Amino acid sequence: MAIEARIKQTPKPETGVLGTLRETAKGLWSLIVGLGVTGKYFAGKQVTVHYPRQTVEPEALTGYRGHIELVGKPKTPDTPRCIMCMKCMRICPSGCISIKAQTEKLPPQPEVEEGPQESQVPPPQPKKPKKTLSKFSLDYSLCSLCSLCVLHCPVKSLQHSKHVYWAETDKKDLTVDLLERLRRSAKEAS
Amino acid sequence: MMQFTAIPEPALRLVLCIVALAVFIGLNGLLLVYMERKVAGHIQRRPGPFEVGPHGILTPVADALKLVGKQLVAPQGADPWLFWTAPILSFMPIFVLFLPIEFGPGLFGVQTNLGLLLILAFAGFNVLALCLAGWGSNNKWGLLGAARAVAQSVAYEIPLLLSLLAVAFMTGTLDLSETVAQQGAWPWQWNLVTQPLAFVIFFTCAVAETNRAPFDMPEAESELTAGFHTEYSGMGFGLFFLAEYAEMIVVCSLATILFLGGWKGPFLSGAWWFLVKMYALLTVMMWFRWTYPRVRFDQVLNICWKWFIPLALVNLLATAVLVKVF
Ligand code: SF4
Ligand code: SF4
């Protein structure tokens, strides 16, 4: 519907001798308008950034999707929100994410005695072993920035960073531990 | 024993002239390459070349060294004779084109009363060179570019000649020095005032003649990779490139002489007025290039055959009648 409306707005080229002349005059005028536009740009300010001498602040990089990074919890920014569900690792088409989790060793639970239930207090639930993230490494040399991991994280623990000026001379250096990176940036922020 | 003074004076002048012209073309080539890239950059809101030298001023020198240092490669199946003749053929006539141009009072290569004719005759050589280059390189893009160059030249040559003929009618001479002499120093004494239509037609056709955007179909990068010079590397390409810039200088000089009063200016007439006017026209040409999209082939033919030829003819007839009456 919208497209149809737009098509109707486009005027048909005029015909006949006078019409052709008018069309030609319009065309010639458009040439001058075009020169005006480029002339204004020529005289105006430049919009490009002179990298390595100049860089852009991360805040100004709206819409830039850099490599992925972990998102910290609101209260403890050095701990990621990640619940180690491994969804991102499985969805990644390039296999760049590898996650290692440590399971907490719990002391053996005392046996709950079977017998007549005298007290009304229910026995304590067996405590689940606590899992902690010990490594979250990203091989950026393989990442295609497809965003699938970000979209699939159930707790929004992943986002694209604004880390634009990243270059390495060795491919191995492109593998980073995002957990360490998160801790470092949390420390810098505090 | 032959004395040094035994060398005939015109011959000495010619040799000196050619050496001076070679330097002039080379230096201007470098300057124009730099200007072109800067203009392109600023129009696209970026700084253009910036790294080599202050504000990138040495970039064209680096470019030239790179071109000179590159290996010359001819494609398999190419005709070696035609392939290597073409760039030389495109560059050589440039010297002839510059000879009758009067840069300042008395500053010209040869005194001839047929200067305009000489330039028009030798400017056509470029098309032949492009044709040989396209045919000789055994490449479909090259061949298509060559075919376009020929067809385009058929379209623009006629209105170009007709528009210049109107000026020649008015001044009654083909001598470029004489044409300048007949114009005054102030802008309203220039031929531009009496022949504005001829100027517009000439300048548009001149853009086509030099194969520059929006009429750069023989080398259309987007569809023909590089057209006729697809297969050229190193100085083979460099010569075509230099020839293109030299031709730009020639057509802008011609426009300056015929329409803008040549080296005459309101104050301090001299060669520097010539250079100012010439470079202003060159800048306009570059401005065109980075503003207009390339026209389609049939559009060039339409512009030239349906508009420029009739307009130029009417202009010529009107000039002839007015010259006869007054
Ligand atoms: S953005 Fe795509 S390729 Fe990169 S880590 Fe995430 S899922 Fe893998
Ligand atoms: S999908 Fe999110 S929560 Fe799951 S492992 Fe990846 S980052 Fe952690």
Which residues touch B157 (CB under 8 Å, ≥6 apart)?
A: B124, B205, B209
* Residue B43 touches chain A, beta carbons under 8 Å: yes
Tell me if residue A171 falls in helix, strand or coil. helix
Query: What's phi and psi for B173, nearest 5 deg?
Result: -150, 155
For residue B117 the two structure tokens come to: 């004719």
In this predicted structure, the answer to whether residue B43 has a pLDDT above a threshold of 50 is yes
For residue B187 the two structure tokens come to: 């802008």
Average pLDDT score over residue span B30-39? 90
For residue A83 the two structure tokens come to: 């619940």
What percentage of residues in chain B have a pLDDT greater than 70?
98
In this predicted structure, the answer to whether residue B107 has a pLDDT above a threshold of 80 is no
For residue A82 the two structure tokens come to: 């990640």
Using CA atoms, how far apart are residues B124 and B149, in angstroms rounded to an integer? Answer: 11
Residues of chain A numbered 14-53 and touching chain B (CB < 8 Å) = 24, 31, 34-35, 37-39, 41-48, 50
Minimum-distance CB partner of A48 among B43, B46, B307: B46
Amino acid (one-letter) located at A176: V
Q: Whose CA is nearest to atom 4 of ligand 2?
A: A85
Minimum-distance CB partner of A48 among B45, B291, B292: B45
For residue B60 the two structure tokens come to: 């064209």
ipTM, two decimals: 0.74
For residue A178 the two structure tokens come to: 């995002």
Using CA atoms, how far apart are residues A29 and B204, in angstroms rounded to an integer? Answer: 16
Buried/exposed code over B62-77 (b: 16+ C-beta within 10 A; e: otherwise): ebbeebeeeeeebeee
In this predicted structure, the answer to whether residue B49 has a pLDDT above a threshold of 80 is yes
**pLDDT of A111:** 63
Using CA atoms, how far apart are residues B321 and B73, in angstroms rounded to an integer? Answer: 56
Nearest alpha-carbon partner for B146 in B158, B156, B137: B137
Residues of chain B numbered 234-293 and touching chain A (CB < 8 Å) = 287-288, 290-292
Cα–Cα–Cα angle for B170, B178, B157, nearest 5°?
Answer: 60
Contact A41 B47 (CB under 8 A): no
Record the pTM.
0.75
For residue B77 the two structure tokens come to: 């199946």
Radius of gyration of chain B (CA): 20
Residue A189 CA to ligand 1 center (angstroms) comes to 26
Buried/exposed code over A105-117 (b: 16+ C-beta within 10 A; e: otherwise): eeeeeeeeeeeee
**To which residue do tokens 């230099």 refer?**
B242
**pLDDT of B2:** 46
Do B281 and B255 contact (CB within 8 A), yes or no?
A: yes
Average pLDDT, chain B: 85
Residue A145 CA to ligand 1 center (angstroms) comes to 5
Residue A144 CA to ligand 2 center (angstroms) comes to 18
Do B283 and B255 contact (CB within 8 A), yes or no?
A: no
Asked whether A92 lines ligand 1 (CB < 6 A), one says yes
Minimum-distance CB partner of A38 among B46, B50, B291: B291
Average pLDDT score over residue span A31-47? 89
Using CA atoms, how far apart are residues A32 and B287, in angstroms rounded to an integer? Answer: 11
Using CA atoms, how far apart are residues B39 and B290, in angstroms rounded to an integer? Answer: 8
Do B231 and B74 contact (CB within 8 A), yes or no?
A: yes
What percentage of residues in chain A have a pLDDT greater than 90?
13
For residue A109 the two structure tokens come to: 């639970």
**pLDDT of A120:** 65
Residue A140 CA to ligand 1 center (angstroms) comes to 9
Using CA atoms, how far apart are residues A23 and B169, in angstroms rounded to an integer? Answer: 32
Burial class (CB in 10 A: 0-12, 13-18, 19+), A77: middle
Using CA atoms, how far apart are residues B155 and B304, in angstroms rounded to an integer? Answer: 6
Largest CA distance in chain A: 110
In this predicted structure, the answer to whether residue B162 has a pLDDT above a threshold of 50 is yes
* Confidence class for position A7, pLDDT limits 50, 70, 90: low
* Confidence class for position A150, pLDDT limits 50, 70, 90: very high
pLDDT tens digits, B279-313: 999 999 999 988 988 888 888 888 888 888 999 99
Max mean pLDDT range (A171-175, B124-128, B172-176, B261-265): A171-175
**pLDDT of A118:** 57
Contacts of A43 in chain B (CB under 8 A): 42
* Confidence class for position B1, pLDDT limits 50, 70, 90: very low
Which residues touch B56 (CB under 8 Å, ≥6 apart)?
A: B34, B37, B38, B47, B48, B49, B50
Average pLDDT score over residue span B227-240? 83
Q: Which atom of ligand 1 is nearest to the CA of A158?
A: 6
Contacts of A31 in chain B (CB under 8 A): 292
Distance from CA of A97 to the nearest CA of B (A): 38
Tell me if residue B117 falls in helix, strand or coil. helix
Nearest alpha-carbon partner for B196 in B139, B143, B258, B137: B258
For residue B267 the two structure tokens come to: 């104050």
Largest CA distance in chain B: 65
Amino acid (one-letter) located at B265: G
Give the number of C-alpha atoms closer than 13 A to the C-alpha of residue A168, restricted to the C-beta side: 10
Using CA atoms, how far apart are residues A168 and B240, in angstroms rounded to an integer? Answer: 40
